[in-house]
Structure 1
């Protein structure tokens, strides 16, 4: 390096363009930072395992069937040597993903945002801002109805049968319904996003309304455990949220239509564009010269 020469990183292209190798290096850097945040979150998950597991157990422990094995306390069993370890590991991973979501979401955003335009950035921010509370609301609803759903399922057991539920089976059940409800609550948000982008008009949404209702309950029957209450609640929630998304699409289409020539009366001629002025017409639109 010559004397007085300084090494500087090349300025980033304002449009987000860079060579392929630079893209790969940045992707590697973002992934490393996201994984470090996730690892720290998983470590915190091991620390708070006991209160988190007690929280997940609460719906089951409220049932009379939870007191088994000649004990009045809530009991869950395990049958495998590694079941107890995998239980803590799964809970720690879930807690780690939730705790570290600001870190890895920020890394994803920093990698993707240079390629987005102004309107696209606004759409992505609005989507994430609405998706997180919707997912949380769906998971919370699943947690709230889990006790009643377990009561319904246990009511089918014949007299004298004992419910010896394993810890892995119960954790899988709770995670399944919470993740499914959370994801299902986010699905109608895609309808709103596509409508805002002009891809999915309200007329098309209304046309396929009955099909959506059928698919909602079919989807609920497939992805939920064999529980009629959970299926009905999930299907009904999807329909309610879909109707809310359809209402937003209807209002957006009406607003979009109203902003076009909203100052022009029914008996008036629509104005020319701003860049068109009198005397600038050419070709077929130009008036022919008058013969004297």
Structure 2
């Protein structure tokens, strides 16, 4: 009975070490996010003013005075909670490299050397692609969407009622955050498909065969993730389709690389077998 207890204690020791390591990584991640959150909350108004710049560009495209851009809030606490959302959004974005590093440090000891070399670039690529998607939203799609909504205004001439767009701060922030997260997530498609191709769950031929379904799903996802206007929906669906094509190219590259490694491994094994046969002949 004592032998069984000793084996149980030996097996539980690595688990405790993993839990301690997990706690350490969580503390670093939460601490980094909290510090970034406080910094972003302190500059929340300045960050919000930066997020309003695409709205100003849209007013210029619509031929309006960009200096008169006005947003409102209708509840006393609305702008305060908007600043908290800004701080959480900015804190998560700023702390992501630290969080990704902690995830890598926790997972890396359980991976082989070649797996560690493959895993780290994907973390970097994921963050870079998210930033590219966010930049696309900021510099192009948000101004386009706001220009589309501004075009619905009425000036009040010829006996018409004057109808002006006065967005609430929370709704505007919700719109731009939804677009950034939607594009950021969609831009992870090459990373996800390449990883699945590496482990053999996907193939370039299979992705190419499902191209028609992918186009349909892209428009469905765009309709769900974006506001109900054609500009943002088409704007998300088209990059998704292009990223799907990029995923097919990357999957083919992964398959060619895997085939080269297989051929090199077989050639090495054949060379070792030939060498072993050559060494065995003199002994005979």
Q: TM-score, normalised by structure 1?
A: 0.77
How far residue 112 of structure 1 moved from its aligned partner, in angstroms, is 1.4
How far residue 197 of structure 1 moved from its aligned partner, in angstroms, is 2.7
1:149 pairs with 137, 145, 149, which one? 145
With 228-237 and 110-119 compared, the bigger mean Cα shift is at: 110-119
Runs of at least 5 residues in structure 2 that lack an aligned partner in the other structure: 1-11, 61-65, 155-159, 278-284
> Quick check: 1:31 aligned with 2:33?
no
Bigger share in helix:
2
For 2:176, the equivalent position in structure 1 comes to 174
Pairing 1:130-279 to 2, within 5 Å after superposition = 130-144=125-139, 145-157=141-153, 160-257=162-259, 273-274=270-271, 276=273
Contact conserved, 1:188 with 1:238, CA < 8 A, in 2?
Answer: no
Contact conserved, 2:36 with 2:95, CA < 8 A, in 1?
Answer: yes
> Quick check: 1:21 aligned with 2:16?
yes
Alpha-carbon distance in structure 1 between the residues aligned to 2:68 and 2:237: 35
Runs of at least 5 residues in structure 1 that lack an aligned partner in the other structure: 1-16, 66-70, 263-269, 281-292
Residue by residue over 1:122-178, the C-alpha shift from the partner in whole angstroms, topping out at 9 and shown as x without a partner, is 221121121111111111111122111111123235562122211101100010001
Contact conserved, 2:40 with 2:87, CA < 8 A, in 1?
Answer: yes
* Aligned alpha-carbon RMSD (Å): 2.9
Larger CA Rg, structure 1 vs 2: 1
Residue by residue over 1:61-94, the C-alpha shift from the partner in whole angstroms, topping out at 9 and shown as x without a partner, is 34449xxxxx963211111121121111111122
Alpha-carbon distance in structure 2 between the residues aligned to 1:74 and 1:101: 32
- Structure 1 102/18 Cα, relative in aligned 2: closer, same or farther at 3 Å? farther
Alpha-carbon distance in structure 1 between the residues aligned to 2:59 and 2:225: 27
Task: Find the residue that maps to 2:188 and give its secondary structure.
Answer: helix
